[in-house]
Each structure stands twice: as structure tokens, then as C-alpha cells.
Amino acid sequence: MKTNLPPPNSLDLRRTLIIGNSGSGKSWLASRMARSLKVPWIDLDRIHWLSDKHSIPRPGSHVLALARVAADEERWVIEGVYGWIISEIIHRATTLIWLCVEDQECVANIRQRETKDDDRLLAMLEWAASYRSREGDSGYAGHRRLFNGFGGSKIQLAGRDEMAGLICSLRQT
């Protein structure tokens, strides 16, 4: 599998932050990276949402406090779509990975992983489909600003093949 990725030993992966659209593969990549690197994996969905049903958000101040505690650790992989949370912890990251996956692929990934066809699924599909046009810090433009402004090592991945290539290269080091 050929990719244009930098060699993993050229990246400081002690504290890796992964951003991207819902359904882009953030959790898939983060879980595999954390396992390969033997570091904790923190999913910002688990910090943001009080319930597993993704229907009750925690108060913003609690979310930021929990995210800051997680980011204060020496080694981790943190992933999420929430630009407002990420902007508060990005200064702790040593590497930023932006998953720039096409919206249609994200929608297809969500359909594949979700088992219930309900209002929550419809809202998630609509959210993912609007990534490139969505206003605010959790859309494409917001993630682009975070990525462009990040001073550490950073890479942009366009799909599952590139993500798999990164995981393979980690295993070879």
C-alpha cells in the first residue's frame, strides 16, 4: 500500500489529535493508533455527551474541564469533531491528523455502522452530509482553520487506505 505519508518516526505521536467529519473514521484510526502506540484513546463524544444515546449533552464548562484533564496527560490519542473543544486542548497536541474524507463516504460509513433507523440516525446523516457547508468550528472551514494554524507536525488523510497505510507504518517501526 503506497501513500504519501511522512515516516511515522518523523512525527511526534506522544499526543495525537484527530479531527474530521462524523463518519470519517476518527474512532477507527484512533483506536488502532492508540493500540499500536500503547497510549490511551479518548473519544470526545464520550466527554461531550452525558448519555450513550447522544441526546443529552454535558454542560459546556464540564466538557471543557474533562477535556483539559485528558489533554494534560503525557501520552494520548484524542479524536473528535467538536472544534470548540479541540481549540481548548490543541496547544497540548504534538501531532494533528485531519481526516478529509468526502461527505458521501462519511454518510455511507454512518449507515454501515448504525443499526437503528431512527431520528438520531437521520440527524447524524444530515450532520455528516453538511460538513463542507456547515458554519462554525465543527465544519470543514473550522477544521481547516485549526489545521492551518497548528504549529506542530500535521498530516491530512483522504480516506481509509491512507489511514490503513499510517497504521501499517506504525507497526513497522
Q: Is residue 90 part of a domain?
A: yes
- For 28-48, the pLDDT digits (tens) are 999 999 999 999 999 999 999
pTM: 0.92
- Mean pLDDT score of the chain: 91
91 SS3 class: helix
**Residue 39, in any domain of the structure:** yes
How many domains is the chain built from? 1
Distant-in-sequence, close-in-space partners of 129: CB < 8 Å, separation ≥ 6? 103, 104, 106, 107
Could you tell me if residue 21 is inside a domain? yes
Is the residue at 5 inside a domain?
no
Rounded Cα distance between 59 and 112, Å, is: 31
Q: Does any domain span residue 111? A: yes
CATH number of the CATH domain containing 166: 3.40.50.300
pLDDT digits (tens, 9 = 90+) for 92-143: 999 999 999 999 999 999 999 887 778 888 989 999 999 999 999 999 999 9
Which domain covers residue 160, as residue numbers? 12-171
Task: Answer yes or no: is 98 within a domain.
Answer: yes
